């Protein structure tokens, strides 16, 4: 089931006005309700794509470097380390993975990665 971040914000706004909170996070929009002790953050890759300014990468628990959580492409850094790859070779593979980072749209394709977010580390 899909609920856009706009719809979620509208439902939460019934509790009070959501006030934006400035953050340094490039992917999350944070809000606070009046009198609330905490805040709420929205990461909305489908309804409000941020691929163009996303600066995130992920190293998975099994040693794969993913330049985009929504894409299935990755580089197996663990395998490189196991076979004794040089620092220069590892750097070359990592740069190759980052060069494939989508400029826009990986999340908007609604094509989930084969692994669960828990497996990726999300």
pTM given for the model: 0.58
**What pLDDT, in 10s, does the model give residues 43-100?**
887 777 777 777 778 888 889 998 887 777 788 999 999 999 999 999 998 888 888 7
What φ, ψ does residue 43 adopt, rounded to 5°?
Answer: -115, 110
CB 87 within 8 A of CB 97: no
Q: Which tens digit of pLDDT belongs to each residue from 102-119?
A: 766 555 444 454 555 555
| Residue 98 DSSP SS3 | helix
Helices (H), the chain: 5-12, 77-82, 87-99, 117-120
Sequence ranges of the domains in the chain: 5-42, 55-108
Cα-based angle 71, 73, 74 (whole degrees, multiple of 5): 120
């Amino acid at each position: 089931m899909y609920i856009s971040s706009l719809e979620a914000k509208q439902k939460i706004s019934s509790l009070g006005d959501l006030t934006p909170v400035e953050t340094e996070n490039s992917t999350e929009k944070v809000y606070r309700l009046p009198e609330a002790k905490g805040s709420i953050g929205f990461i909305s890759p489908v309804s409000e794509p941020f691929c163009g300014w996303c600066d995130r990468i992920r190293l998975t628990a099994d040693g794969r470097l993913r330049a985009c959580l929504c894409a299935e492409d990755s580089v197996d850094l663990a395998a490189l380390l196991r076979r004794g790859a040089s620092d220069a070779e590892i750097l070359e593979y990592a740069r190759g993975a980052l060069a494939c980072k989508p400029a826009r749209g990986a999340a908007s394709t609604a094509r989930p990665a084969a692994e669960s977010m828990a497996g990726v580390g999300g």
